Amino acid sequence: MPQHPGRKLMSVERAVEQGERAVGSTSPFLAMDTEREIHRITRRIREELGGALKRRGLVVAISGGIDSSVCAALAVRAVGPDRVVALILPEKDSSPTSRERAERLADYLGMAREVEDIAPALEALGCYRRRDEAIRRVIPGYGPGWKSKIVIAGGAQGQFNYFRLVAESPEGTPFDERLGAREYLEIVAATNFKQRIRKTFEYYYADKLNFAVVGTPNRLEYDQGFFVKNGDGSADIKPIAHLYKTQVYALAEALGLPGEICSAQPSTDTYSLPQGQDEFYFVLPYQKMDVALWAHNSGKTAEELAEMIGLTVSGATAIYADIEAKRRATRYLHLSPRLIAPVPEVAGQAGETRLEAP
């Protein structure tokens, strides 16, 4: 099996300790034998490549964040650095720091890396123009030099989720307005060009090399629908979709990834103002969101969850309701195209190939 830099073992005790450090005393549930998990994932990747996928290697778009870094390291561990291509796909609003971190990671793992600036393609498609036109209907003065992001609200308070547009003028004046359905949908639709153009590049390289495309969602993102359909949601294999984010951090350590990756804070890297994932989509920071999702999946009551993560019972009840609301709202993202009648001769209609249950 190919080796790669920094390989080291991690004990269950260490994983538990790290989990506890990450989420206080609430995360032992998420502890796992990281070496065993790495072995299981890498074996499955090879089986899928040689079996259903019949491709010769893997394309991974890396952002410098924890999920894509872990997926890249797993890919290298599975098939060796010569059979993995890392793509770095910056645009106008993505952080230069993320790009540099991604470049260092690719070099560290010994993979080939290709940098494709997707800004010209996005300009040509009108991504930025369409987004800014929608923003201007909410904040008429919005223009060059301004920065913006979308922030989620409501879910943690037992309200329906809604979205706010937060912007900052070049002089630093802040704006914060509730988004109506039309403007929200238009801003998101324009912004989704980014994920879809990135995926277009990933499949360009995959087709050119006869490789498969790795999707990098963790369990929170996969379960709660935090991805763009036919954008970052599209892939041939999703090696960490069954792992909670806390577990992905544990894998990063076990895979020997550099400290700057292991300590990277989750960010969407999609809007021009800094935006944490818990601002845009999740109602809690990932450490608590992990525990909440785990507790919900494990049949724990709201009272038990409240105790685990230090919330009121009504707060925990609202979190459970929000988890279900997001599942409902994003079920469509997981659906394969609906057929009017079955075509049984065509295999694989049911959707994605899934890794075995954890």
Partner 1 sequence: MPPEQSIRKFILENYLFTEDEQALENSASLIEMGVIDSTGVMELVAFLEEQFGIRMLEDEMVPENLDSVDRIVAFVIRKQGVTAGNAAASGA
Rounded (10°) angle between helices 66-79 and 96-109: 20
Q: Evaluate whether 179 touches 189 at the Cβ level (below 8 Å).
A: no
Residue 27, SS3 per DSSP? coil
Residues 6+ apart with CB under 8 A from 292: 284, 305, 309, 316, 319, 320, 323
- State yes or no: residue 176 binds partner 1 (CB under 8 A): no
Q: Which of 2, 5, 154, 256 binds partner 1 (CB under 8 A)?
A: 154
Only one of the segments 14-22, 95-103, 161-169, 240-248 lies at the binding site for partner 1 (rule: CB under 8 A); that segment is 161-169
Q: Evaluate whether 284 touches 328 at the Cβ level (below 8 Å).
A: no
CA–CA separation, 108 and 310 (whole Å): 39
- State yes or no: residue 314 binds partner 1 (CB under 8 A): no
Only one of the segments 149-157, 264-272, 292-300, 347-355 lies at the binding site for partner 1 (rule: CB under 8 A); that segment is 149-157
- State yes or no: residue 328 binds partner 1 (CB under 8 A): yes
- Residue 329 beta carbon to partner 1: minimum distance, rounded to whole angstroms: 4
**Residues 59-98 contacting partner 1, CB under 8 A:** none
- Residue 220 beta carbon to partner 1: minimum distance, rounded to whole angstroms: 17
Cα 232 from chain centroid (whole Å): 8
Name the helix (H) or strand (E) containing 23.
helix 12-23
Name the helix (H) or strand (E) containing 205.
helix 181-209
Q: Evaluate whether 268 touches 280 at the Cβ level (below 8 Å).
A: yes
Residue 39 vs 328, nearer CB to partner 1: 328
Q: Which of 3, 159, 210, 263 binds partner 1 (CB under 8 A)?
A: 159
- Residue 152 beta carbon to partner 1: minimum distance, rounded to whole angstroms: 9
Q: Which of 5, 180, 256, 276 binds partner 1 (CB under 8 A)?
A: 180
Q: Given the structure tokens 């992990």, which residue do they identify?
A: 290
Binding-residue total with partner 1 (CB under 8 A): 19
CA–CA separation, 141 and 10 (whole Å): 53
Q: Which of 124, 181, 343, 350 binds partner 1 (CB under 8 A)?
A: 181
- State yes or no: residue 182 binds partner 1 (CB under 8 A): yes
Residue 56 vs 182, nearer CB to partner 1: 182
Residues of this chain that interact with partner 1 (CB under 8 A) are 153-154, 157-163, 178, 180-182, 184-185, 325-326, 328-329
